[in-house]
Structure 1
Amino acid sequence: MIVYSLSGASGTGKSTSALQFAYEHQIEGIIDDGILIVNGEKRAGTSAKFEKNTVTAVRRAIFDESTHREAVKKAITEANLTSILLIGTSDKMTKKIAKHLDIEPITYFYYVQDIRSPREIKMARFVRETKGQHVMPIPYRQVEQNFFKRFIKKGREIFTSNRVKLGETTIVRPDFHHETINISKRVYHDVLQHETQQQKFVARIDSLQVDLSTVPTVKLVIYIKAPLDYEVIKEIQQLQILLVGAFIKTFMIEPEVINIEVKGIHK
């Protein structure tokens, strides 16, 4: 069995990218936070994300407990896998997982920065810090029913470029994640509105929308000033750049899209 390692700091989006990464490298199985995933479905194990504290979560993730470890080892054998991906926060962690599951050595080592852009990593960290959300690369229906007292919701469906479904993700908020930064949606509006109102060519802001559901997107509808003795497109492009800068400076993330619509002209 060919063993792959994918490592990176907590909250950088490894689990979100796991199904796509496995598909692109023709990897049959995934070990992520204590569970075995085959063909986008949970096959065995219990997720570390439902532990009470970080110590027990780490022990669960590296299969330190014998009953848990043996159940997953048996499932790997029964699945007759030819390749498997181990996900962890470091090479040391994935090596420990491989040792505990008797699937040493690891053949290939990959890192989150190899498969995710700096923008995507920053966004993943932002979601972790502000919402305390963790991603499980298994369907919502496979999450243990007795954990529904926690924050759990459906994530997104993962497809290939030709729309073949690889699997689904589920979003959870573990008990051990206590430190979050709460930012009101009004704050995003205020920052962008303040920056826009400073521009001399802007007569009025008609509407301002910020969507943070996946990647940050901004839609701005404005009226511009007359007379038109300035280059409209150049000014709008400059405003886009300024809004990106304000977003990065204030929230440390970059919007994926900033759409500015000119609705009319005011004298």
Structure 2
Amino acid sequence: MMRFFKILFWFFRGVRVYALVGSTGTGKSFRAKLVAQKYGIEMIIDDGLLIRGDQLIAGKSAKKEALYLGAVKTALFHDKAHRDEVAKALQRERFRKILVIGTSEKMVQRICERLQIPQPNKTIKIEDIATKAEIEKAMQSRQVEGKHVIPVPALEIRRNYPSIFYDSVRVFLRRSFGTGASLPKIYEKAVVRPEYTKRGRVAISEAALSQMVVHCVDEYDPAVKVKRLAIRDDTQGYRITVVLEVPFGTKLASNAHALQEFIVDNIERFTGILVAEVNIVIDRLTSRRTSSKNRQRERL
């Protein structure tokens, strides 16, 4: 019911949500202000921060986190106090359009859900606004030099996050006013080196993640047995394929989506990693339901 009232709240305010999506290090933050100018967007949500024009309105930067896992949680507004601060600022500020930046559409959807704002009306992919060469250059800067961009002036970052400030960059854009003449617009962006890049990236092992998936399935329905697991990690998150053996008569087929959500929610909540997808494959049906005790004996 509360979610319904929130939707009505934003509907009557006439707020439109835009999403800018692209893999890690492809230059999304670098181009955020250009996208905002093109569509007349007043607010930007990027890596845990709420930005309006050249000011940081609320939130905290994921770049300040000491560990990569903490940075992921901050970008997803995992912490309630952080989430509430930004949600209240959004309700307080007057705006009509907001841009949410994420590595995938699913990540943006989750951010919108947690901040209680509408789902995106329009999704812009980084490949639509940057050339292949520009994306490759941005990725090289990220991977080799560890540089990240925050779409606010250097002064704002020096004031709020002096320990991660590295440099600043200016972008010149000519804007036409329909009279044949054009005036230059200058955007300044801060270049930072996140704390977590100084310490190295933290990742979860495939063995540990596999154990968590098996535990989730067992908790969801002890009669269902995991036969095989395939895990792949890419820039948008972990992709998991679970092959199951299901007792005859179990109504798992109709609840497969619920099991997917159960696995995703538990893994993301307890590890902070981003799960891009979970595929459920029912390999075969067994003739009887197997008790948890028998299953433990089979594993031994």
The TM-score bracket by the shorter chain reads: 0.5 to 0.7
The offset of 1:158, in angstroms, is 5.0
Over the aligned positions, Cα root-mean-square deviation in angstroms equals: 2.0
- Runs (4+) of structure 1 moved beyond 6 Å? none
Partner SS, residue 197 of structure 2: coil
1:33 to 47, 53, 62: 47
In 2, are the aligned partners of 1:5 and 1:110 still within 8 Å (CA)?
yes
Q: TM-score, normalised by structure 2?
A: 0.56
> Could you list the runs of 5+ residues in structure 1 that have no partner in the other structure?
181-267
2:193 to 164, 173, 184: 173
Distance across 2 between alignment mates of 1:113 and 1:146 = 32
Q: CA distance change for structure 1 residues 101 and 146 in 2, over 3 Å: closer, same or farther?
A: closer
Partner SS, residue 195 of structure 2: coil
Distance across 1 between alignment mates of 2:87 and 2:187 = 23
2:126 to 91, 112, 117: 112
In 1, are the aligned partners of 2:50 and 2:57 still within 8 Å (CA)?
yes
Distance across 2 between alignment mates of 1:127 and 1:117 = 16
> 2:85 aligned with 1:71, yes or no?
yes
Identity among equivalent positions (%) equals 36
The offset of 1:166, in angstroms, is 5.8
Distance across 2 between alignment mates of 1:176 and 1:64 = 17
> 2:97 aligned with 1:83, yes or no?
yes
In 1, are the aligned partners of 2:48 and 2:62 still within 8 Å (CA)?
yes
Distance across 2 between alignment mates of 1:57 and 1:69 = 14
* Counterpart residue identity of residue 32, structure 1: D
The offset of 1:73, in angstroms, is 1.3
Q: CA distance change for structure 1 residues 151 and 22 in 2, over 3 Å: closer, same or farther?
A: closer
Q: CA distance change for structure 1 residues 75 and 165 in 2, over 3 Å: closer, same or farther?
A: farther
The offset of 1:104, in angstroms, is 2.1
Q: CA distance change for structure 1 residues 164 and 105 in 2, over 3 Å: closer, same or farther?
A: same
Partner SS, residue 143 of structure 1: helix
Distance across 1 between alignment mates of 2:172 and 2:113 = 30
Distance across 2 between alignment mates of 1:144 and 1:77 = 27
Aligned pairs for 1:136-147 (under 5 A) are 136-143=150-157, 145=159, 147=161
Distance across 1 between alignment mates of 2:26 and 2:188 = 18
> 2:140 aligned with 1:126, yes or no?
yes
Structure with more helix by fraction: 2
In 2, are the aligned partners of 1:137 and 1:169 still within 8 Å (CA)?
yes
> 2:28 aligned with 1:14, yes or no?
yes
In 2, are the aligned partners of 1:19 and 1:166 still within 8 Å (CA)?
no
Range 67-76 or range 150-159, more displaced: 150-159
Distance across 2 between alignment mates of 1:146 and 1:164 = 29
The offset of 1:164, in angstroms, is 4.8
Q: How many residues align?
A: 180
Distance across 1 between alignment mates of 2:82 and 2:183 = 35
Distance across 1 between alignment mates of 2:101 and 2:72 = 12
> 2:168 aligned with 1:154, yes or no?
yes
Q: CA distance change for structure 1 residues 132 and 157 in 2, over 3 Å: closer, same or farther?
A: same
The offset of 1:142, in angstroms, is 0.9
In 2, are the aligned partners of 1:40 and 1:167 still within 8 Å (CA)?
no
